[in-house]
Amino acid sequence: MMADFQKLGRESTEHLQRVILPFWKNLTDREHGGYYGLVTDDLAIHRMAEKGCILNSRILWFFSGVYRMSGDRDALAHARHAYRFLLDAFLDREQDGVFWSVTADGRPADDSKHCYCHAFAVYALASYAQAERDDAERAGEARGLALHLFDLIEGRMRDQDGYLEAFARDFSPASNEKLSENGVEAARTMNTALHVLEAYTELLLALNEQTPEREIVEEKLADLLDLFLDRIYLPDKRRLGVFFDKDYRSLIDLWSYGHDIEAAWLIDRALETLKDYPREGEIRAMTATLTDAVYRTAYRESGEAAFLLTERENGVDKENRVWWIQAEAVNGFLNGARRAEKADDTMLAGRYADAAARIWMYIKEYVVDPREGSEWFWALNPDGTPDHTYALADPWKCPYHNGRMCMMAGTGEQAAKNNGGVI
């Protein structure tokens, strides 16, 4: 199994340097700041497209992570470029928080506020603060802003039962079309809760000393783990619920394979960062169940765990294959393999490592766009051909999932051990 890890690590590191980094560096907007917000399937860069805060935050996280992994000063310069645009364009200095999107030249476009969007801003700022560890002033500013947005989420974007979703500019409640799909509008989503958890995990890593702020973040992260155990996980179905009403009644029979395998490793990482959670045994059993259930589905549908389908609604699979789901499958199965290896379960570790290696082979053959100057296709059709109706970069298509996969599988894993966590 170690050989599989090493081969995947070498290849993914090379892929990060040769394909993913050049593509996103090429989208740097030197005139207006930030990064161009749209690249269509014909490789055309739309320089006047809106720029999304989620995309900019994920780019900031990505370049910060690359620098923390490799010491690449050019990556740090790109992280600083994304950080400056976050400060200059996305921060609402009148009514607080961050805008959903801005125009190409940095004026508010969609001025709504969303918990999911704020979570990614916290995630990115916390990683950037760690990247600037040699510059106390820069690191302190980024960490302070991350804590401010954390306070904003906790103070204005949740109630006693958990996290709410969408708000107008003044934080009055708004409809949640942005994170609702499949014909329902959700008052709460698993997706938002998951990425708040991810953001708070990263924020803990940026707070090295035992401070009052760290204690509060630890408390809220533990509350999130409770939320997944008690309200979001559906033990009878061996999966997470996706869309809920305000009382956590599930709105639809939907199994999101990518979110489940992503949640499994993100929750494990939260536990490793938190270090003291009284229900650790319960939640580790949950993440092990999620990993196993997704593995069995992938193996059954493809015959050899070579890819993950998108989702299953009312017992019927959506049979396209989406870029981020394949990346998170590699992350999740590698995490499952390492967890099984620590438990001396060599058979299970080998099974998961093999699944990760097979999906990486599938990514290389089908998901990576072979055209010069491109990156990954957004989605493949059921027959494995590219779906050219999707963009190569847009407010959602970013270097977060696939860049993170390369860092997890490659040298980023060792870097994470050395400096407190890249991924």
DSSP notation for 115-184: HHHHHHHHHHHHHHHHHTTT-HHHHHHHHHHHHHHHHHHHHHSEETTEE--EE-TTS-B---GGG--TT-
Q: Which domain holds residue 104?
A: 2-419
pLDDT of residue 171: 98
pLDDT of residue 383: 92
Provide long-range contacts, Cβ within 8 A and 24+ apart, for 361-365. Answer: 361/306, 362/306, 362/307, 362/326, 363/326, 363/327, 363/330, 364/11, 364/15
Whether residue 416 is predicted with pLDDT greater than 90 in this model: the reply is no
Question: Could you tell me which residue, 319 or 117, shows the higher pLDDT?
Answer: 117
Neighbours of 302 (CB within 10 A): 17
Report the C-alpha gap between 360 and 366 in whole angstroms: 10
CA dist 347 → 1, 133, 286, 353, 371 (Å): 10, 41, 20, 10, 39
Percent of the chain residues past pLDDT 90, beyond the cut:
90
| Mean pLDDT value of segment 60-70 | 96
pLDDT band at residue 372 using 50, 70 and 90 as cut-offs: very high
Q: What is the pLDDT of residues 231-250, one digit of tens each?
A: 999 999 999 999 999 999 99
Number of domains in the chain: 1
pLDDT of residue 49: 98
Q: In CATH, what number is assigned to the domain containing residue 293?
A: 1.50.10.10
Per-chain mean pLDDT for the chain: 94
| Mean pLDDT value of segment 271-286 | 95
pLDDT band at residue 417 using 50, 70 and 90 as cut-offs: very low
Report the C-alpha gap between 13 and 403 in whole angstroms: 10
Q: What is the pLDDT of residues 107-159, one digit of tens each?
A: 999 999 999 999 999 999 999 999 999 999 999 999 999 999 999 999 999 99
Whether residue 376 is predicted with pLDDT greater than 80 in this model: the reply is yes
pLDDT band at residue 293 using 50, 70 and 90 as cut-offs: very high
Whether residue 357 is predicted with pLDDT greater than 80 in this model: the reply is yes
Report the C-alpha gap between 51 and 305 in whole angstroms: 36
| Beta carbons of 290 and 300 less than 8 angstroms apart | no
Report the C-alpha gap between 77 and 74 in whole angstroms: 5
Report the C-alpha gap between 242 and 415 in whole angstroms: 33
pLDDT of residue 89: 98
List CB contacts of 121: < 8 A, sequence separation 6 or more.
Answer: 53, 57, 86, 90, 98, 146, 149
CA 308, 311, 313: angle at the middle one, nearest 5? 150
Report the C-alpha gap between 47 and 239 in whole angstroms: 41
Reduced to 3 states (helix: H, G, I; strand: E, B; else coil), residue 249 is coil
Whether residue 302 is predicted with pLDDT greater than 80 in this model: the reply is no
Report the C-alpha gap between 422 and 410 in whole angstroms: 11
pLDDT of residue 4: 65
Q: What is the pLDDT of residues 3-38, one digit of tens each?
A: 567 889 899 999 999 999 999 999 999 999 999 999
Whether residue 361 is predicted with pLDDT greater than 90 in this model: the reply is yes
Among 153-157, 195-199, 268-272, 299-303, the range scoring the smallest mean pLDDT is 299-303
pLDDT band at residue 301 using 50, 70 and 90 as cut-offs: low
Tell me the whole-structure pTM to 2 decimals.
0.96
Q: What is the pLDDT of residues 202-225, one digit of tens each?
A: 999 999 777 899 999 999 999 999
